[in-house]
């Protein structure tokens, strides 16, 4: 028999919000949990992936007010897939506006992968707004992180499909590959390019590999997702002038926990070690064998336990 999931049951969101940014975007936000619970901002990955009910299922619904916004161009935010007025600074401004509109003085910030990147940037941008940080599978956005992600040797068959969809040689450098993927994702074969990129990510992040065909609206949404992602990656996620590790000096000294799988091939463990060194008050906990999968039973259990400890005792334990 399979072991029971450590995640809480999936439910419909308690409330759905939309707000207009004033510069051409309409942003979506879903809430789960208790209206009077401890506020938690949950930042999705990608960039461009959009939020999901899964992200809320690590929180005890009686203890937390879980806020899951869809970032610009992602999920239910509109226009979907747009890269116009869509930068890291725009996302940080949106978080400042969101907190003000909701009347929340401070919140716990949780993010995975790119969501962890944005969580740290937000904590540095508004340190008084953050009371704790839970960062899963953190991505630092450096050139070496991109080079490690686009390593052809990790999954040769998926790599061959990716470079074929991009129309570049198998030995193409990362900037050349990203430029070609961006062009392909805006052309008539955008869905094919998106499916090849999905196959590459799945090959690195899960032993299950590709999980079946994607067609119709799902394929269109996937192409929109990767349009946003390649836009951010080509610009170094707007972290080149002020790298994420340098921004850590402005992150408040609050309870901070880094959860990272020891076999993560999307966001390498070396990045987690560098981040732990830049955040001397943070605890780094390794999750064996979880890859880059937030729903892996070991990673899900670690997230649930960490948030339960934070709600009960105000900290994550183990120095955080």
Catalytic residues: 113, 264, 292
CA atoms within 13 A on the CB side of 117: 25
User: What's the per-residue H, E or C state across 204-220?
Assistant: HHCCCCCCCCCCHHHHH
CA atoms within 13 A on the CB side of 165: 27
Q: Answer whether 27's CB lies under 8 Å from 21's CB.
A: yes
- Alpha carbons 199 and 119: distance in angstroms, whole number: 27
Phi, psi of 251 (to 5 degrees): -70, 135
Q: Are strands 130-136 and 283-287 parallel, antiparallel or unpaired?
A: unpaired
User: What's the per-residue H, E or C state across 222-253?
Assistant: HHHHHHHHHHHHHCHHHCCCCCHHHHHHHCCC
Q: Answer whether 137's CB lies under 8 Å from 112's CB.
A: yes
- Alpha carbons 171 and 22: distance in angstroms, whole number: 43
- Alpha carbons 166 and 307: distance in angstroms, whole number: 41
Q: Answer whether 273's CB lies under 8 Å from 247's CB.
A: no
Q: Answer whether 285's CB lies under 8 Å from 276's CB.
A: no
- How many Cβ atoms sit within 10 Å of the Cβ of residue 138? 28
């Amino acid at each position: 028999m399979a072991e029971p999931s450590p995640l809480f049951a999936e439910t419909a969101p308690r409330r759905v919000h939309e707000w207009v940014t004033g510069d051409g975007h309409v942003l979506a936000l879903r809430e789960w949990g208790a209206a009077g619970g401890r506020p938690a901002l949950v930042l999705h990955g990608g960039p461009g992936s959009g939020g999901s009910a899964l992200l809320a299922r690590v929180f005890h619904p009686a203890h937390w007010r879980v806020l899951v916004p869809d970032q610009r161009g992602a999920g239910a935010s509109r226009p979907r897939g747009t890269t116009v007025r869509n930068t890291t600074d725009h996302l940080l401004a949106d978080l400042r506006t969101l907190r003000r509109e909701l009347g929340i003085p401070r919140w716990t910030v949780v993010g995975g992968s790119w969501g962890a990147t944005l969580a740290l940037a937000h904590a540095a941008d508004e340190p008084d707004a953050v009371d704790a940080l839970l960062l899963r599978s953190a991505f630092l956005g450096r050139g070496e992180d991109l080079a490690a992600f686009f390593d052809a040797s990790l999954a040769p068959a998926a790599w061959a499909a990716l470079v074929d969809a991009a129309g570049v040689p198998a030995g193409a450098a990362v900037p050349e590959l990203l430029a070609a993927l961006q062009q392909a994702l805006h052309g008539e074969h955008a869905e094919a390019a998106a499916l090849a990129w999905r196959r590459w990510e799945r090959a690195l992040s899960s032993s299950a590999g590709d999980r079946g065909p994607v067609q119709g609206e799902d394929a269109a949404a996937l192409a929109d997702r990767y349009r946003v992602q390649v836009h951010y990656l080509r610009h170094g996620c707007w972290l080149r002038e002020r790298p994420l590790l340098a921004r850590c000096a402005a992150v408040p000294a609050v309870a901070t926990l880094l959860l990272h799988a020891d076999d993560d091939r999307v966001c390498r463990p070396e990045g987690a070690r560098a981040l732990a060194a830049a955040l001397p008050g943070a605890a780094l906990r390794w999750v064996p064998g979880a890859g880059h999968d937030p729903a892996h039973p070991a990673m899900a259990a670690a997230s649930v336990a960490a948030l339960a400890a934070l709600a009960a005792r105000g900290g994550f334990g183990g120095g955080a």
